[in-house]
């Protein structure tokens, strides 16, 4: 039996396989509101064969968007825009739907990647970004405004409000975004966090705000539903956030009821030196799993079915999450199941697509004609 296509349970959520469609920013919303692009994108990948699809980084407040085109869930309009999309997914797909709650912090007010991705100055239509300290992501950029106590309270409450909206939408699971140089990662890293109060300095202080946010989200979301977290396990910069600190953070999260940890890396500094290659982040996930026994998701240039199978079968991680690979092959899960002898759910309109050599791909299905 394929390890990749074996079931796993996250709190009250039973998943038939170990594949997740990773959250992928689409930079295509309008005022934070999902639109026809998201309808097409989400419905397509909900039929990928993955057991869980995670909606892209979803900003908990307007100034927490990375770009003006980023998705949000901070008011009635952004909530309402997602409702028909999710209704369509539920009608045609059995995949669990998760959502990644996020805040960009000092990396907010940026152009989309295809427009260069650089900071948009306030004078050119951008907005004032906020962060742990008045330290810019790049030396040539305007610094963010450092959060005061009122600002931190506002952000915590925004995460809670978005978690409650996600529950009203029927979202099955949440992932708190604490990676890629965005706000919660900025608090963790000494590169971006140079505060002198109880939220800066020591590891315990730098972990404080991300832990507060996680605790608040966990308390606001139903106890039967899982809440995970994505972390950058290293900044890939000397003197920055690193794997030993990540393990300490993960252990603190475990005490607070974390259901999975999604292990990525980088994003907090343009000085990072990332050793890119197939599965380059898997050793980070493996180290976190071994040290904490948490349910761990591996990500990063996982593209081949047998590569993913080995990650699960060898115990390096409990699940895999694919992003670019799913964009390139929106039926990646089907093809992996065919190669590994697994089974996936598919709508009956597509049953006739299975190859004659793979009659068990969709289970015991028949498709008659007349």
Q: Tell me the C-alpha distance between 84 and 238, whole Å.
A: 46
Angle CA 59–240–158, to nearest 5? 20
Please tell me the predicted confidence (pLDDT) of residue 17: 98
Please tell me the predicted confidence (pLDDT) of residue 352: 86
Please tell me the predicted confidence (pLDDT) of residue 360: 77
Angle CA 231–120–262, to nearest 5? 10
Query: What mean pLDDT do residues 297-313 have?
Result: 97
The pLDDT > 90 percentage for the chain reads 93
Q: What sign does the CA torsion over 47, 285, 175, 220 have?
A: positive
pLDDT digits (tens, 9 = 90+) for 326-353: 999 999 999 999 999 999 999 999 988 8
Asked whether the predicted pLDDT for residue 370 surpasses 70, the reply is: no
Please tell me the predicted confidence (pLDDT) of residue 355: 80
At residue 315 the predicted structure's pLDDT band, cuts being 50, 70 and 90, is very high
Asked whether the predicted pLDDT for residue 102 surpasses 70, the reply is: yes
The most distant pair of C-alpha atoms in the chain lies apart, rounded to whole Å, by 75
DSSP assignment of 316-368, as one string? S-SEEEESHHHHH-TTHHHHHHHHHT------GGGGGGS-TT-TTTTSS----
Query: What mean pLDDT do residues 30-49 have?
Result: 98
Q: Tell me the C-alpha distance between 183 and 341, whole Å.
A: 42
Q: Of the given ranges (19-33, 41-55, 178-192, 267-281), which has the lowest mean pLDDT?
A: 267-281
pLDDT digits (tens, 9 = 90+) for 249-274: 999 999 999 999 999 999 999 999 99
CA 217 to chain centre: 15
Listed by start position, the domains of the chain span 8-344
Among residues 73, 3, 15, the alpha carbon closest in space to that of 260 is found at: 15
Task: Please give the positions annotated as active site.
Answer: 182
pLDDT digits (tens, 9 = 90+) for 350-369: 988 888 777 778 875 555 55
Asked whether the predicted pLDDT for residue 27 surpasses 60, the reply is: yes
Please tell me the predicted confidence (pLDDT) of residue 358: 73
Query: What mean pLDDT do residues 11-20 have?
Result: 98
Query: What mean pLDDT do residues 66-85 have?
Result: 98
Please tell me the predicted confidence (pLDDT) of residue 356: 75
pLDDT digits (tens, 9 = 90+) for 48-66: 999 999 999 999 999 999 9
Q: Tell me the C-alpha distance between 240 and 190, whole Å.
A: 6
CATH ID of 8-344, from 3.40.630.30, 3.20.20.70, 3.20.20.60, 2.40.128.630: 3.20.20.70
Cβ pair 134, 90 in contact under 8 A: no
Whole-model pTM above 0.85?
yes
Query: What mean pLDDT do residues 234-256 have?
Result: 98
DSSP assignment of 234-265, as one string? --SSTTS--HHHHHHHHHHHHHTT--EEEEE-
């Amino acid at each position: 039996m394929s390890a990749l296509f074996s079931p796993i349970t996250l709190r009250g959520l039973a998943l038939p396989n170990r594949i997740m469609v990773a959250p992928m920013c689409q930079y295509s919303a309008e005022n934070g509101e999902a639109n026809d692009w998201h309808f097409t994108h989400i419905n397509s990948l909900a039929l990928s064969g993955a057991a869980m699809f995670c909606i892209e980084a979803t900003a908990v407040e307007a100034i927490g968007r990375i770009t003006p085109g980023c998705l949000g869930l901070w008011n009635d309009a952004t909530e309402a825009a997602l409702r028909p999309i999710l209704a369509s997914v539920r009608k045609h797909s059995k995949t669990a739907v998760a959502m990644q709650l996020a805040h960009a912090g000092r990396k907010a007010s940026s152009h989309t990647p295809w427009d260069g991705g650089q900071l948009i100055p306030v004078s050119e239509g951008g907005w004032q970004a906020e962060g742990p300290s008045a330290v810019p992501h790049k030396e040539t950029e305007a610094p963010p405004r450092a959060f005061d106590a009122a600002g931190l309270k506002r952000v915590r409450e925004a995460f809670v409000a978005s978690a409650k909206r996600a529950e009203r939408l029927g979202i099955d699971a949440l992932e708190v975004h604490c990676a890629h140089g965005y706000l919660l990662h900025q608090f963790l890293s000494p590169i971006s966090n140079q505060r002198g109060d109880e939220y800066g300095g020591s590891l315990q202080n730098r972990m404080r705000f991300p832990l507060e946010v996680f605790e608040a989200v966990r308390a606001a979301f139903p106890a039967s539903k899982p809440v995970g977290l994505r972390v950058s396990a290293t900044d890939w910069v000397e003197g920055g956030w690193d794997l030993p600190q990540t393990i300490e953070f993960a252990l603190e999260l475990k005490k607070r009821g974390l259901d999975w940890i999604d292990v990525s890396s980088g994003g907090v500094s343009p000085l990072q030196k990332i050793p890119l290659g197939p599965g380059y982040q898997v050793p980070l996930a493996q180290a976190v799993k071994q040290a904490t026994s948490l349910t761990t998701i591996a990500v990063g240039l996982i593209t081949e079915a047998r590569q993913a199978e080995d990650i699960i079968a060898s115990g390096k991680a409990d699940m895999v999450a694919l992003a670019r690979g799913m964009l390139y092959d929106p039926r990646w899960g089907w093809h992996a199941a065919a190669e590994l002898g697994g089974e996936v759910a598919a709508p009956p309109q597509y049953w006739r697509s299975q190859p004659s050599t793979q009659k068990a791909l969709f289970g015991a299905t028949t498709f008659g004609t007349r």
